[in-house]
Amino acid sequence: MKKLQLDELNRLSVDQFKGAAKIPVCLVLDNIRSLHNVGSAFRTADAFRIEKIYLTGITGTPPHREIEKTALGATASVDWAYVEKPEEAVRALKEAGYRIVVVEQTTDSVPLNTFRVAPDQKYALVFGNEVKGVSEEVIALGDWALEVPQVGTKHSLNISVCLGIVLWEVFKQQHLER
């Protein structure tokens, strides 16, 4: 066994990525404080080739040195838009046929492992502020609420970790299990 070199990974160029088919998923970042979390969202979105990221509220936007520190160039490959109010981004996605999935602990949230991705359905995954979570206005617009099962003393995961877990599950179901 040997570690693969970068030229052995057969990665797409940014131009190839832009033209490649995407999984029908958008991310909505609802008032994310940490620019490192924003950068991580871009890098993870690139890894799973999602359609677009919507940055809302106080969420920082590229170009920014602190975002690039973790994005490692993914801000050039992943499409994104800034929308001031998260609920406006979610409404527009809902009208465009996306099912809205808030990743939040609610009275109706279901464990991620029980969520089944429907074939040919578009999804908008909403991740909330590191302290306050997904805003109530956005929760009210959600079609589902998902949570990552946890058994420790903390009640939440860092957004970058949670986003990676949820995107992996959706990608796996939409892309690898078909």
Write the burial class of residue 149 (CB in 10 Å: 0-12 exposed, 13-18 middle, 19+ buried). Answer: exposed
Model pLDDT for residues 79-111, shown as the tens digit of each residue: 999 999 999 999 999 999 999 999 999 999 999
Do residues 111 and 149 lie in contact, with contact meaning Cβ atoms separated by under 8 Å? yes
62 residue type, one letter = P
2.40.10.340, 3.40.1280.10, 3.40.50.2300, 3.40.50.920: which CATH number matches 20-176? 3.40.1280.10
| pLDDT of amino acid 92 | 98
User: Higher model confidence: residue 154 or residue 28?
Assistant: 28
Question: Residue 177 pLDDT more than 90?
Answer: no
In the structure, what pLDDT confidence band is assigned to residue 176 with cuts at 50, 70 and 90?
confident
Work out the pLDDT band at 116, boundaries 50, 70, 90: very high
Residue 21 tokens, joined: 């088919």
Domain spans of the chain, in order of start: 20-176
